Amino acid sequence: MTVSSTQSLTERHPLADAFPGDGVETIGNDADGHTVLAVDRSHLLEILRQLRDDDRFRCDFLSDICGVDYPDRQQRFDVVYHLANLDSGERYRVKVAVDEDDAVLPSAYGVWKAADWFEREVWDMFGVRFEGHPNLKRILTHEAFHGHPLRKDYDPGQRWLLTEKDIMTPEWAREEQLDDQHMESQVLNLGPSHPATHGTLRTVLRLEGENIVKAESEIGYLHRCFEKMSETHGWQQVIPYTDRLNYCSSMINGVGYALAVENMLGIEAPPRAQVVRVILSELSRIMDHAVCLGANLVDLGALTNFWYFFQIREEIYGLLESCAGGRLTVSYARIGGLAHDVPADFEEQVRRLLDYIPPFVADVDKLITRNRIFRDRTEGIGVLSPEEAVAWGWTGPCLRACGVPYDVRKAHPYMGYEQYEFDVPVATTGDTYARYLVRMEEIRQSLRIIRQAIDNLPGGPVITDDHHVALPPKEKVYTEMESLIWHFKLIFEGIKVPPGDAYHFTEGANGELGYYIVSDGSGTPYRIKVRPPCFALYQAYPHILEGLLVPDAIAILGSLNIIAGELDR
Amino acid sequence: MKDVPAVNVDRGKIPFGERIYLGPILGGLRVTLRHFLRNVFGQRDVATIEYPEVKRQYSERLRGRHILTTNEQGEVRCVACYMCETACPADCITIVAEEDPTAAVDHEKRPLSFEIDLLRCVYCGYCVDACPKQAIIMSREHEMAFTTREEAVVGIDELRQKGPIDQEDLGYRPYF
């Protein structure tokens, strides 16, 4: 079995002239209009540079690097680069194949800094080395782990004995360092269990006094093989797993995944399902921002706001529970729509929330926004310029705080976001204070969207009636033979997604949440790669820290909203 | 990205009123004082509840511990078709089937054992969606504590409905 990895081969593709050499093997467009290039390894770096610098492409943004394993193919691995021109919105996908015996690629770190951790992940998961990478080591698994778990022939049942002395310690943190006055500089472990990391994140710091001179982050403490497990489960069964990605806004993950698969199937959820998805996604976004801001403010000593924000969160959880039956892990989206219709008093509950939330946001606004203690602690701290932020692959509120008005809901509207009137909050300073201001405004804008959505909530079904995709309604399963057969077939064989690959992305609470999906036409996904927005945010974190103080490290970490669930997957 | 309706949230330099601390601090104190007084003397809209004496009322969709429903004769309705086991994303259901000697026709199945590992279960409700017989539903019981892992693996006897179905604390089930 081999999945075709190249799209329609067109000699006369309008962009074919841009690559006169023999580096580009094929060039074509996929169903979403993304340009797909298959590239020879020897020309990879020069083509990536051209894609960044050439005026025809201007791919300033590297969103993801992903490996795919085809054990039966002569060139076993595909490494897929997802690029974008944020101005024009055009998307590019560069694929390069490598042999198993000679799995080496030139590192793209010199082209986009965002390649840093994404390349480390491909090395960790597939064993493809990147020459010229500044710090190529394992990232999601332990230092002493054996093998590369996302290879198809890796047996997940294996156990490795990992001991404490194998814990990752960067070279520079091992030796003693003395300054001119023979004063030793300190190495400090911030995390993995630290009250201010809100998740198991570890950052090793080299301190001179209280100044951070060097930092390195270690992640993977919450790695639970989401991508490996999704390869052994049906398409529909992946949804409960997506809830655990960004667990502060689990609805958005499930919807993003469902949209990605629907896109490959060429179906659309009914209008009512779309609007309910928008409402619940925006409420989840409010919840996510509330948790992020609340926790960030607690770290800075402002506890009261945490209570006010958590009151909002509690009420939203109440609504989610009455719709889905779960508070944190909602599992409410389904491929083709929603698990079941919203309760009868849904509209009333949403309208109550629309009145309930704003006073709390206003209270926090009064407590914090004009408070000079907060401003002094956050202004000018953790600044990133717009160019740097894009180069690091930042998206979401953190990128918008740097002055780039990129929002997937506006740039590539999905789920009917083009019908709603809302503004994209942008700040220009790019510091921790700006990230706070952007998130506060986003809560208000989300409320605006929900208000418009609830006014135009259509009736009708909430899941498609295509029984190749969605289970038939229960009363028919109990009474009709045909429906029972559909029910059986769907449960036992799963949804058949047509072979091919696609990258679909939505605006998660933290930024661009992408799903790169490869299907071989069977009932289970061949490969699902999640592009978690936190991953790109967090890889810039150690670099931002250098030259700042330890308390600043806490303030910045909180404002980036790193959710270990989606970071480590 | 050029025609995106953006709203700039920059606040610029700290104005004089904020630089002297006092105004915003007093404004903040007013907010907290208002909440305090309202909670003590006013409408008492305190968000916290005194758990476990007071419990939150959940909807009838809450996905808690499973119930195996029974028919009029008091036997479990399950026909051991393995649909829930197949649909389970956490692989926490194990069914062993046997021939049903009481059935009117030959080759009817019933579960010899039906085990759910409640520690593995993620309470997603896929088993309820998968069941063609409404034999497995969920209750609202969500506070479960075990002293050993073995104790968390429950079988037919622990899962079977205890009395009339309308007296159970019903949670997620078809039509809800």
pLDDT value for A282 = 93
| CA B110 to centroid of chain Cα atoms | 28
Low-confidence ranges of chain A (pLDDT < 70): 1-12, 14, 166, 177-183
Determine how many CB atoms are found less than 10 A away from the CB of residue A16: 15
Count: domains in chain B: 2
Same domain, A469 and A346: yes
- For residue B139, tell me if it sits in a domain: yes
CA distance A554 to chain B (A): 22
- For residue B4, tell me if it sits in a domain: no
Same domain, B95 and B163: yes
**Cβ–Cβ contact B139 with A under 8 A:** no
Per-residue pLDDT, averaged over B132-158, amounts to: 89
CB within 8 A of B86, min separation 6: which ones?
A: A491, A492, B130
Q: What is the CATH number of the domain that holds A109?
A: 3.30.460.80
**Who wins on pLDDT, A185 or B125?**
B125
Count: domains in chain A: 2
Q: What is the CATH number of the domain that holds B124?
A: 3.30.70.3270
Contact B9 A440 (CB under 8 A): yes
- For residue B2, tell me if it sits in a domain: no
- Residue B115 β-bridge partners: B94
Kindly state the tokens that stand for A131: 């020459």
Taking alpha carbons only, the member of A103, A66, A67, A104 closest to residue A83 is A66
Q: Yes or no: say if B175 and A474 are a contact pair by the CB < 8 Å rule.
A: yes
Instruction: Say how many CB pairs under 8 Å bridge A and B.
Output: 148
pLDDT value for A1 = 37
Same domain, A244 and A120: no
Residues of A in contact with B13 (CB under 8 A): none
Chain B residue closest in CA terms to A441: B9
- For residue A145, tell me if it sits in a domain: no
Name which of A474, A476, A489, A490 to mutate to probe chain B: the one with the most chain B Cβ atoms within 10 A of its Cβ. A474
Beta-carbon-side half-sphere exposure of residue A18 (alpha carbons within 13 Å): 19
* Contact residues, B window 70-129, toward A, CB-based 8 Å cutoff: 83, 86-87, 89-90, 122-126, 129
Residue corresponding to tokens 């960044």: A52
- For residue A568, tell me if it sits in a domain: no
Q: How far apart (Å, rounded) are the C-alpha atoms in residues A314 and A451?
A: 20
pLDDT value for A182 = 65
Q: Which residue segment(s) compose the domain that A45 sits in? A: 16-131
pLDDT value for A7 = 42
Q: Which residue segment(s) compose the domain that B114 sits in? A: 66-167
Contacts 24+ apart (CB under 8 A), A126-130: A126/A67, A126/A69, A126/A77, A126/A79, A126/A150, A126/A151, A127/A103, A127/A151, A128/A67, A128/A77, A128/A79, A128/A98, A128/A103, A128/A104, A129/A103, A129/A104, A129/A105, A130/A104, A130/A105, A130/A106
Name which of B2, B3, B7, B51 to mutate to probe chain A: the one with the most chain A Cβ atoms within 10 A of its Cβ. B7
**Identity of the residue in B1, B63, B130 whose CB atom sits nearest the CB atom of A405:** B1
pLDDT value for A348 = 92
**Cβ–Cβ contact B142 with A under 8 A:** no
Taking alpha carbons only, the member of B135, B137, B4, B131 closest to residue B64 is B137
pLDDT value for A210 = 84
Domain boundary among A102, A131, A160: A131
Q: How far apart (Å, rounded) are the C-alpha atoms in residues A3 and A104?
A: 22
CA distance B108 to chain A (A): 17
pLDDT value for A2 = 37
Same domain, B110 and B36: no
- For residue B152, tell me if it sits in a domain: yes
CB within 8 A of A163, min separation 6: which ones?
A: A144
Q: Yes or no: say if B125 and B172 are a contact pair by the CB < 8 Å rule.
A: yes
- For residue A175, tell me if it sits in a domain: no
Same domain, A122 and A241: no
ipTM of the complex: 0.86
- For residue B126, tell me if it sits in a domain: yes
Contact B89 A241 (CB under 8 A): yes
- For residue A445, tell me if it sits in a domain: yes
Same domain, A483 and A341: yes
Q: How far apart (Å, rounded) are the C-alpha atoms in residues A533 and A569?
A: 12
- For residue A190, tell me if it sits in a domain: no
3-state secondary structure of A353: helix
Q: Yes or no: say if A283 and A538 are a contact pair by the CB < 8 Å rule.
A: no
Same domain, B38 and B80: no
- For residue A2, tell me if it sits in a domain: no
| CA A282 to centroid of chain Cα atoms | 17
Q: How far apart (Å, rounded) are the C-alpha atoms in residues A456 and A234?
A: 34
Q: How far apart (Å, rounded) are the C-alpha atoms in residues B157 and A71?
A: 47
Name which of A372, A374, A431 to mutate to probe chain B: the one with the most chain B Cβ atoms within 10 A of its Cβ. A372
- For residue A154, tell me if it sits in a domain: no
Chain B residue closest in CA terms to A411: B1
**Cβ–Cβ contact B42 with A under 8 A:** no
**Who wins on pLDDT, B50 or A166?**
B50
Q: How far apart (Å, rounded) are the C-alpha atoms in residues A345 and A350?
A: 9
Local structure of residue A473 (DSSP, 8 states):
P
Give the tens place of pLDDT for each residue, B84-119.
999 999 889 999 988 888 777 777 888 888 999 999
| pTM across the whole model | 0.89
Kindly state the tokens that stand for A191: 């995390």
In chain B, the largest separation of any two C-alpha atoms, in whole Å, equals 89
Contact B1 A369 (CB under 8 A): no
